[in-house]
Structure 1
């Protein structure tokens, strides 16, 4: 599962107020006493066979199921199946061609079935169930990661919305597939499966495993039968139906396919085309070949999360769709593609035995994004992603939560920045500590020892200990079973008479928890480097180093691997040496930050960095300093950079920086690039033109609007709302309405309030307010803790600006 980034920016902006709301309203603390153990096993799933057909008018699914089970160990005469909100027509035990009806009780959540006899552990038995799934009648609650939990989704089933495809897809994680199939809906169960789907013949289907049969029916439908011969968890079962184009690829003779709407068929291989290379790379580093018979990826409309690793059939949200111009700025979905693929090993082949141990699924998938970026685009790219993920964890304010968590209010709460970003950084530290060879051999052992079974953090530890020959309890106790992270203060003392340098490292975290940290310290004299490996074990540790010539730089955590916050009290000369000699992404980034904070001219060194990410970051830092507006030499350098830069997003940043000067001399650059094939470059150029001639740029924005996406689309929306007048109202409203729910749509709705403040037509203003409220309510309830304050503050600002009737209207609709 890849979390949705729907409101990431708003989350960051409003996190403080949102946390206050949570603290004030969440008085239920009884869960703190409920130990979340692995689900007990009374019966084990063996095989699940389904025969289903769909009622598009009612949004129902008619199902017949033959589920084979056996007692786990102790003899039993009863069976409990999860079955949410169904109508049950018949339950029987099947023996050959004979069906024997069974007694049962059903409370709309659990089917409690009395078996026809007591079965022993060696005796499999098959239960037949005839039922109706009614997902839209079910009242469920989602989470920040998975915004809805009704399991089975009918998208535009009657075709009323001509702008949206008719689709069906399922979403099982955490325990929602029991909305459409009675099962033991727990991650520690595994079953083979066979699913037959009867659908209108114009649609294609997708499920786990291989398509084994297709049968045309006399009523214009077709029955597709999919079979999965290897066991996997019930939450990973999947069905997809729709008018998709299927683009075929291959990996070692196995089918790799991409299910997309026809509009995106020409771009499918550009979006997903690195998948076979990813499969090869991950198979090689893990020493475990891709374990399944095929791998398909499908994009679903109105999906309730980011993406989901259904075994052999990953489901992605619409954000995966990009056209050729968007892809010129880089594939924004590539890390998600890697994330879900890595789950086919960590999560699907070996599955977390309980949600408390979700780290053995999600932390690995998160780590794979760094691993892929490093392999495909170089160490700087991997380190940049690793750092960005660290920042997300630190900003989440979840330092009171541990990776393995046996106490939580709801299983959905486990899908957070601890299980994802922190866990991924913990694995990256472990990789550095034991070395690449031991790290990947340990993962190989964990996967092979537990394949088609379940895993937990302790099994992972045992695999690492078996390979390395080390007792690693200290690492697991510190990073998996405890919370928080070190907060380091690093000071230096040089005694030139004694030719001794001291490094004093204090752990400043407020808790009594003292971290044990193996780190590398590099001493640089010019380009010459000497490495020392040391351990932090105390609240304060002091390390002394003798020297002949005073070091130009002492680089603590020289591999830049620690999951920590730090204050590193180096001098300006130290940072000059660091950007010159220390090789890593974070070495250079830290130096650039210091130069920016202290307004040093060395900041411009970042404009020539070998890595586009740091060139772009340097432009961001320069843009925070108003003196850039009068630094003609630096502006000339940035102008030349626009002409020479090969990375589109960095070129766009350079154009944005020139634009804030408001200087007419750069207008030819904006005119040249406003029709650039890169949306980022075109959007930045349009913004530059707007600052010089608002009316002309607004008219141009309307011309460029049809089909625009990405940064160009964002620029168009902002410009028309800022520079538009009464006559632009219908255009702006239609534009907001037609956007799928996204961070950009929410931002557009908030900016729209500023446009409404300029209008005098009361009816248009009220109608516009209704549109803003509609977007506000479109946000899933789970996210509204974060988005509602933004909407209410913005609407209140509009109310204060307009006063009178409009103020009264806003106050009424917000009640």
Structure 2
């Protein structure tokens, strides 16, 4: 009963708060603050020798520390299911208890600020944090690698230490491993000494950083070194690439030095870390990339070459992870609640990289794509950006867009000066969201508390309707702008937003950009005009870069399409015009020269592109990007009525994505000519084109269900391909009930994969065939791996099959 009374009381307090100022109670953040700590870690020297076949690590960790604010008689270190051989404190054995989640150490009482060091000899079999790929592959075709991923708190599976981001330390990593492979880690490479058939790699990161940013990558790589110079300073770039992807280093890392230059110019804070800046791809990485201090790991799916760069590349991710070297690595959030200080800024700069490389229209387009993702989250719950559970769309996309709005509000000079002060003041330290706010107060002299409350500590986003009309009265003639807003978040529906943006106006006499402020449910803004002045167009938020969902633009859409100077806005407005397409709409872009903008128009026109007049217009544009955008909107029926030669002309390109689309359209239009098209339109069998090649294989099978075609699809399930590709192949083979002993063996092995998608696809296939005579074969294969795999992997395999 008392519990029910408490719930009613809390609900009443929230309701009263809402009725007074429209503020609501946001869900409690259990990770608002980090764990309390009683010691301050200074340095970690970690010597490890991985056993790749068994998936285990033998290590010696030497951790120096001091008690913080009181005497300490017990120490807790995070260490998940370690086999601890011995622990010494200051050179002498010390009593400890080894639990599944960590190690409790009981020294004599240690005095405050007293320097100490622990030596821990151990063995770990990490389920997370460190990943072993390819070593147990029975076919020998998979890449043999070891790599790590520490964020958020996964390094505790192979490193015994205090695994939280608010205690920074310097690190020293020593790895003994097979001399046939390269070992990459953070900081300065002190030595690489050959000891019989192994190399002892010794790295030092002598600037304090969070432990989750420690990294190791082991594999067969070529390393490409180059120097970057800026204002008399030199920085070495070490960029790693697979030997079997020739030219991959050139296209994958094409803009690395350019991005570094832009970041240093804007932030006025030089790249802060010792040693080369390293970047290394790994197989089946669990995320897109990770910003480990001075040594970025990224998914091999982002590798590009001359065949794939325009389709899939590392460029935007490259800018994102590089920005983290300042935001997240140099200045680190105090707790998970302030995680946006990492990801929102990294996203801000990766959005900027699109503007740097492709122009304003591409930048605006990416902003609107981000807003589309944000909307889906804002209607679900009322979590603010500054919340540990806010989710990727808020920490990344929403925070990135909001930071662009903040820059527009205070101006470029004040914005970047504030960032410079923030980075210099909190370098190698931890910071709160309010620390950044106070720096902006200090630099700009403006009260921006409302902006933080509205965007970082508050939820939702505005949905805005807009209209205008010209009004003449006794005081003269004026243009009235009508804005109506509501919050997209139903929970916080009464919250209104204070918004600052420009309005573009075109009249018979002038073109002006005027700033406006909107803060009420309904706002009217009046602009005086001449008696003989006709208003042709009013365009709110040129570039559409505000976090606003614009609706009901019908009244203004066609006028914006005709008159706006902003190329993106013309396309955006046309898409919102809700009009029936007419051939005369070609006039909106007939004189457009920019191929990127024409590609946007092709997308906006959609299937109407198959109108003969419209098609003839786009067919004359000499741009692979425009050709691809146009072809996407055609189908097999369209090409059955046109000449085969016209379609094949599109394949005379080095752009593999375009050749791929031409091939699919050709075999769709004339399936009987499949073998001919296969010879004429040759898609290179390159590592970077795996997704494309699998889609072709499936399409060919659907046309011609031959044994050769099905064996081709089955080959994509093997270990030489990426996990996502293998999973897609397995799912298709399950759907057509294809069964072979080899595929069963491959799927049993895939059950032990650390990723989620591939083991689920493998289990789905095996559970289907287990209903037949193959059940005994599956059990036999699993027994083989019980002798190799660690216990957690065996349990996972059986759990998947039983689910």
TM-score bin, normalised by smaller chain:
0.7 to 0.9
Give the corresponding residue for 2:164: 186
For the residues of structure 2 that align with 1:714 and 1:608, how far apart are their CA atoms? 39
Instruction: Name stretches of at least 5 consecutive residues in structure 1 with no aligned partner.
Output: 1-29, 139-149, 757-762, 796-812
Between the aligned partners of 2:650 and 2:29, the Cα distance in structure 1 is 61
Compare 745-754 and 35-44 and name the one that shifted more.
745-754
Which residue of the other structure, out of 608, 626, 629, is the alignment partner of 1:653? 629
| 1:469 corresponds to | 445
- Give the whole-Å Cα distance in 1 for the aligned partners of 2:136 and 2:739: 33
Contact residue 283 and residue 722 of structure 2 kept, 8 A:
no
- Residue number in structure 2 paired with 1:292: 273
Map of 2:263 onto structure 1: 282
Q: TM-score, normalised by structure 2?
A: 0.83
Which residue in the other structure is 2:96 paired with? 104
Whether the 8 Å CA contact 1:682–1:712 is kept in 2: the answer is no
Structure 1 residue 487 corresponds to structure 2 residue 463: yes
| Counterpart position of 1:347 | 328
Q: Deviations over 1:379-426 (max 9, x none)?
A: 2222222222222222345663444445x6xxxx45511101101011
Matched, 1:733 2:714: yes
Partner of residue 501, structure 2? 519
Maintained 8 Å contact 1:517/1:535? yes
| Residues 102/425 of structure 1: CA separation in 2 closer, same or farther (3 Å cut) | same
Aligned to 1:421: 397
Contact kept, 8 Å, 1:520 with 1:532, in 2: the verdict is: yes
Question: 1:814–1:683: structure 2 CA closer, same or farther, 3 Å change rule?
Answer: farther
Give the paired residue count: 723
Q: Is the 8 A contact 2:340 2:399 kept in 1?
A: yes
1:60-99 mapped onto 2 (5 Å cutoff)? 60-94=56-90, 99=91
User: Which range is displaced more, 157-166 or 234-243?
Assistant: 157-166
Secondary structure of 1:226's match?
Answer: strand
Is 1:565–2:549 an aligned residue pair? yes
Aligned with residue 619 of structure 1, among 585, 602, 606: 602
- With structure 1 as the length reference, what TM-score do the two structures score? 0.82
* Contact 1:271 1:334 survives alignment (8 Å): yes
- 1:541 pairs with 2:523: yes
Cα displacement (A) at 1:612: 3.5
> Structure 1 pair 592/718, CA: closer, same or farther in 2 (3 Å)?
farther
- Alignment CA distance shift 1:503-1:265 (3 Å): same
- Please say if residues 714 and 729 of structure 2, whose CA atoms lie closer than 8 Å, have aligned partners that are also in contact: no
Structure 2 counterpart of 1:257: 238
Say which SS state the counterpart of residue 286 (structure 2) adopts: coil
Q: Secondary structure at the match of 2:141?
A: coil
Of 379, 382, 390 in structure 1, the residue corresponding to residue 371 of structure 2 is: 390
Structure 1 residue 663: Cα displacement = 4.3
Q: Distance in 2 between matches of 1:67 and 1:743?
A: 39
Question: Do the aligned residues in 2 keep the contact of 1:659 with 1:687 (CA within 8 Å)?
Answer: no
- What is the CA-CA distance between 1:566 and the residue it aligns to? 1.8
Distance 1:76 1:341, change over 3 A: same
Taking the aligned partners of 1:752 and 1:698, their CA distance within structure 2 comes to 23
Matched, 1:114 2:106: yes
1:636 CA displacement = 1.2
- The separation in 1 between residues aligned to 2:748 and 2:202, in whole angstroms, is 41
Please give the residue correspondences for 1:683-722 in structure 2 after superposition, counting only pairs within 5 Å: 683-697=660-674, 700-701=677-678, 704=682, 707=685, 709=689, 712-713=692-693, 716-722=696-702
Residue 72 of structure 1, CA deviation? 2.3
Question: SS at 1:46's partner residue?
Answer: strand
Q: Distance in 2 between matches of 1:747 and 1:486?
A: 39
Counterpart for residue 616 of structure 2? 636
User: In the aligned structure 1, how far is the partner of 2:263 from the partner of 2:93?
Assistant: 49
1:753-796 superposed Cα distances (whole Å, 9 cap, x missing partner): 78x3xxxxxx74899998999999899886799x99xx99xx9x
Pairing 1:51–2:47 present:
yes
* Alpha-carbon distance between aligned partners in 2 of 1:751 and 1:169, rounded to the nearest angstrom: 30
Quote the offset at 1:40 in angstroms.
2.0
What is the CA-CA distance between 1:698 and the residue it aligns to? Answer: 5.3
Counterpart position of 1:589: 571
2:483 matches 1:505? yes
CA distance in 2 between partners of 1:776 and 1:603 (Å): 53
Q: Are 1:157 and 2:135 counterparts?
A: yes
**1:602 shift after superposition:** 5.4
Aligned to 1:3: none
Q: Which moved more, 1:81-90 or 1:381-390?
A: 381-390
Q: Note closer, same or farther for the CA distance 1:404–1:659 as it changes in structure 2 (3 Å cut).
A: closer
Is residue 396 of structure 2 the alignment partner of residue 431 of structure 1? Answer: no
Residues in 1 aligned to 2:431 and 2:675: alpha-carbon distance in whole angstroms:
57
Q: Does 1:40 align with 2:16?
A: no
Please give the alpha-carbon distance, in whole angstroms, between the structure 2 residues aligned to 1:663 and 1:493.
Answer: 50
Selected match of 1:358 from 328, 333, 339: 339
Separation of aligned partners in 2, 1:715 and 1:782? 22
Question: How far is 1:357 from its partner?
Answer: 0.7
Name the SS for the 2:109 alignment partner: strand
Aligned position for 1:196: 174
Superposed CA deviations along residues 637-673 of structure 1, whole A, max 9, x for unmatched, are 12212xx12xx33322223445551244342132233
Separation (CA, whole Å) in 2 of partners of 1:592 and 1:750:
40
